[in-house]
Chains A and B, each alone.
Chain A
Amino acid sequence: MGIKRLFAFLTLATIAPGIFAQQTAQDAEEEVARWGVNMTQGVTEVSRTTYDLHMLIFWICVAIGVVVFGVMFYSMWRHRKSKGYQAAQFHESTLVELAWTIVPTLILIGMAIPATKTLYDIYDTKEADLDIMITGYQWKWKYDYMGSDVSFFSNLSTPQSQINNQQPKAANYLLEVDEPLVVPINKKIRFLITANDVIHAWWVPDLAVKKDAIPGFVNESWTRIEEPGIYRGQCAELCGKDHGFMPIVVKAVPEDEYHSWLNDRAAAAARIKELTNKTFTFDELYARGEEIYKSACVACHQAKGEGIPGTFPAIAGSKIATGPMDAHMSMVVDGSPSNPAMQAFGAQLSEVDLAAVITYQRSAFGNNMGDTVQPIDVLNFKNK
């Protein structure tokens, strides 16, 4: 192959992706802050201190870079053979070596002092006003407000059609959830962070909180948010297939608003509990089940119940979904004994939702069982 043809190939390889460039630009909505190049200053004291520390080190690096690269470029410019420059032959100088060992050490000590101070602040989780337990699941977050009955899952709410490019993407594409974590401002909130399956990491840049969620361990972190607002983050530790699809949304509100929200949430939880004794029709259960399926099951078992061969079994035509009810309930409520990816949903969903989703799975995707299971049956199964 001649050089010219190689060049033609290289040019093509470079330009081809550029043709699509304009399309995305149009897809993005105006409100998104584009071309962001730096860390956020955030909305807490810790996040601002962290930002300052980051900028301090950055400028020190820039200063060192200017000196080192300055000398390099100067000699590349001046000390060329093509300009007839004669090489000096100096080498070895203990004094110089000592100087460029000691000076950087001093600079490092200068950096370490503020860093140590900030680290002590971040580690001081004492005397919190409020404790929230955060549990990472594949691929959603669970929030428990300690000392109250309020507990819920927070799932990605971006529709699959946007991810698959069938619909234009909304401004908060992949950074939106069905239920955000609601917290009061100006209160010291302690997060107790753990995980149910694999390691996740709970990260909200505006709060400068990033902590690994590790199964079997409870990590601590804290924040005190100063401004009301919505702060978005993402899981930061690779946790499997949908690692990129488990965002975090924190809604910080004034304290009284927080309390009324908490009361409403507790009342709603009580109402769901009451529904356990109600008898539902097939259609009611099927419709509710479809919604639950979309948030709790679809990530693995896929939209048409086809699963992913070799990784996640299909529900369409599966032995369990078309077999005895007890085995099906056992699989959903207690999880799979052989495959840890199939979680125990008994602790994650209410009896109503469990009954609905089981009913749905038995009659959707061409499974023609047509039978129903009632919330009370699920409750009895759980208590067995």
Chain B
Amino acid sequence: MAHGPKPGFTRWLYTTNHKDIGSMYLWFSFAMFLLGGCMALVIRAELFQPGLQIVQPGFFNQMTTMHGLIMVFGAVMPAFVGLANWMVPMMIGAPDMALPRMNNWSFWILPFAFAMLVSTLFMEGGAPDFGWTFYAPLSTEYAPPSVTFFIFAVHIMGASSIMGAINIVATILNMRAPGMTLMKMPLFVWTWLITAYLLIAVMPVLAGVVTMMLMDIHFGTSFFSAAGGGDPVLFQHVFWFFGHPEVYIMILPAFGIVSAIIPTFARKPLFGYSSMVYATASIAFLSFIVWAHHMFTVGMPIAGELFFMYATMLIAVPTGVKVFNWVTTMFRGSMTFETPMLFSIAFVILFTIGGFSGLMLAIAPADFQYHDTYFVVAHFHYVLVPGAIFSITAGVYYWLPKWTGNMYNESMGKVHFWLAFVGLNVTFFPMHFVGLAGMPRRIPDYALQFADFNQIASVGAFLFGAAQILFLFNVIRTVRGGKKATDEVWENPEGLEWSVPSPAPYHTFSTPPVVR
């Protein structure tokens, strides 16, 4: 142990320590989660009743757009990078990340990117209002002037993600402790390795598509304008070539977290480690050849339609393998239900429900009825909220005692879980119904037959939002003190991170451990 953290504020500014940077990522992500959540509550408050009560349609569109962007790029992705920063070096027995200075840089550009994005709310013409998918030409010729700031913000976020991903790949491939072969790595490390490759592959595509927008808006090109010989559908192909792998970027690390937690609390090894690795790799591969299932209604030729339908249905197979593995791991275990386990079990159940609606959406003819309705909103919130958000929450509860040296308050954790679980289902389950009954998404006002379920969903959203305050409270309390955690924290958990003291010292594994 050479030295501890620098005193004062500059510790955070200049730090190259993976634990410090991990913590900053996590706090930043939580702040964005609350901000994006408040925007969601504006949306739900407006949709509480038919008619316009609280906001005007233009501002409503700004809220849906910013909610999506902030949750995807500000909350979920940085949270996973934060967890990777904290856990990957400790899990593979490395002293730090491979590229610590770049690590500092990739975090510190994020607050600026989001400050720029959020500042558009106060600009003339308002914030981006074209949905987080920003389809051209609504996002080019017809966009508010703030779109340029949005484009630069996306560029910075992309640069941050790419640097983070390169760092993770470099760390995992070069800095494993002796004996830590690839097929001995914890699944969280595996899923992150694959996620990092996805990021390196698709973030440049996103940068490309926003640059094409920038050219169309300011330099007279016509990539996406039919009047100039361009093609608005091209935008969607390029966007979703990024966008579909992106949704797996937001779920693969979640698989890794849950695959660590379930065996610990079932006191039984993961059923099929190697098949889990292969399933993750298959999902990652398939994610590159299914993008146009987001575009079944654009008028593709039937051959394209069929290809994307079959390829999309195929994703159900490796995803099924994962779910069956988790269930079989629980089967005949000796289970206890601490907060991380509760969130993980809810993850498996609710993510599976989201998977089912995903399978339904894959069926192109049925998708003509589902497309762009609340059924889709229900689907992707079922995979993202219990998928990404619940797994991140589970991970935080699971590793918090290792990070802080203190146990969190278990009963408060359980209350948080149950409020979030009930709130989530009350919010998003009725969305299946209104979607099937014919309610389009992204509308600020709706016909009367959708009123009842929307009202229920709005109540659930406020419950879910309120539950997160309990989470914040519990985490702050744990950081400040509480019952001391043992080095193992849980009963015989697997992994190198449990072999270091709690709280984990500022520098761990200065001498590499030997893995049997």
Contact = CB atoms under 8 A, between A and B. Distances in A.
A50 B349 contact: no
A220 B299 contact: yes
B135 A238 contact: yes
A203 interface: yes
A31 to B, nearest CB: 10
Given A91-B271, A212-B299, A244 B138 contact: no
Contact residue range for chain B?
35 or more
Given A112-B313, A197-B137, A233 B452 contact: no
Contacts of B448: 27-29, 32, 34, 169, 171, 173
Contact of A216 (B232, B298, B365): B232
B484 interface: no
Given A108-B314, A212-B297, A61 B359 contact: yes
Given A72-B327, A198-B137, A123 B51 contact: no
Nearest to B138: A198
B142 A119 contact: no
A216 B324 contact: no
Nearest to A51: B369
Contacts of B310: 112
B275 to A, nearest CB: 5
Interface residues of A, number: 118
Interface in B461-498: 462-463, 465-467, 469-470, 473
B48 interface: yes
A68 B371 contact: no
A93 interface: yes
A65 B327 CA distance: 12
Contact of B336 (A20, A72, A80): A80
A97 B275 contact: yes
Q: Which of A28, A40, A241, A244 has the most CB of B within 10 A?
A: A244
A163 B51 contact: yes
Interface in A326-354: 340-341
A308 B299 contact: no
Contacts of B309: 112, 115-116, 119
Q: Which of B126, B227, B297, B309 has the most CB of A within 10 A?
A: B297
B336 A214 contact: no
A215 B226 contact: yes
B293 interface: no
B141 interface: yes
Contact of A57 (B126, B359, B437, B455): B359
B365 A237 contact: no
Contact of A308 (B58, B317, B363, B465): B58
Nearest to B459: A17
A115 to B, nearest CB: 5
A131 to B, nearest CB: 16
Contact of B438 (A169, A172, A205): A205
Contacts of B440: 203, 234-236, 243-244
A75 B331 contact: yes
Given A37-B437, A81-B336, A169 B57 contact: no
Interface stretch (A99-107, A250-258, A261-269, A359-367): A99-107
Nearest to B358: A61
Q: Which of A171, A216, A239 has the most CB of B within 10 A?
A: A216
Interface in B276-320: 297-299, 302, 305-306, 309-310, 313-314, 316-317, 320
A130 B271 CA distance: 60
B232 A215 contact: yes
Contacts of B333: 75, 79, 85, 87-88
Contact of A80 (B57, B334, B434, B445): B334
A47 B18 CA distance: 56
Interface stretch (A3-11, A180-188, A285-293): A3-11
B298 A65 contact: no
Nearest to A14: B463
Given A97-B321, A215-B226, A308-B58, A198 B335 contact: no
A53 interface: yes
Contacts of B444: 244
Contact of A219 (B299, B323, B469): B299
Interface in A145-163: 162-163
A173 B458 CA distance: 21
A100 B309 CA distance: 21
Contacts of B51: 162-165, 169
Nearest to B124: A310
Contact of B271 (A92, A104, A118): A92
Q: Which of A29, A69, A115, A308 has the most CB of B within 10 A?
A: A115
A236 B469 CA distance: 35
Contacts of A303: none
Contacts of A128: none
A298 B211 CA distance: 34
Given A34-B451, A205-B438, A245 B135 contact: no
B423 to A, nearest CB: 9
Nearest to A210: B368
Contacts of A104: 316-317, 320
Contact of A122 (B48, B365, B437): B365
A111 B332 contact: no
Contacts of B434: 36
A165 B48 CA distance: 13
A238 B125 contact: no
A116 B303 CA distance: 10
B22 to A, nearest CB: 27
A245 B443 CA distance: 8
B381 to A, nearest CB: 17
A281 interface: no
A21 B125 contact: no
A111 B363 contact: yes
Interface in B52-73: 52-53, 57-58, 61
A49 B365 CA distance: 9
A122 B368 CA distance: 10
A50 B369 contact: yes
Nearest to A102: B317
A38 interface: yes
Interface in B255-278: 266-275
A199 B469 contact: no
Given A53-B365, A237-B372, A215 B137 contact: yes
A71 interface: yes
Given A212-B297, A243-B442, A310-B125, A36 B135 contact: no
Given A101-B317, A104-B316, A237-B135, A10 B419 contact: yes
Contact of B50 (A61, A173, A216): A173
17 contacts: A10-B469, A17-B458, A39-B437, A54-B363, A68-B352, A81-B267, A88-B333, A92-B271, A116-B306, A164-B51, A169-B50, A197-B142, A210-B297, A210-B372, A215-B137, A217-B233, A237-B135
The 4 closest A-B pairs by CB, nearest first: A216-B226, A244-B443, A36-B437, A310-B124
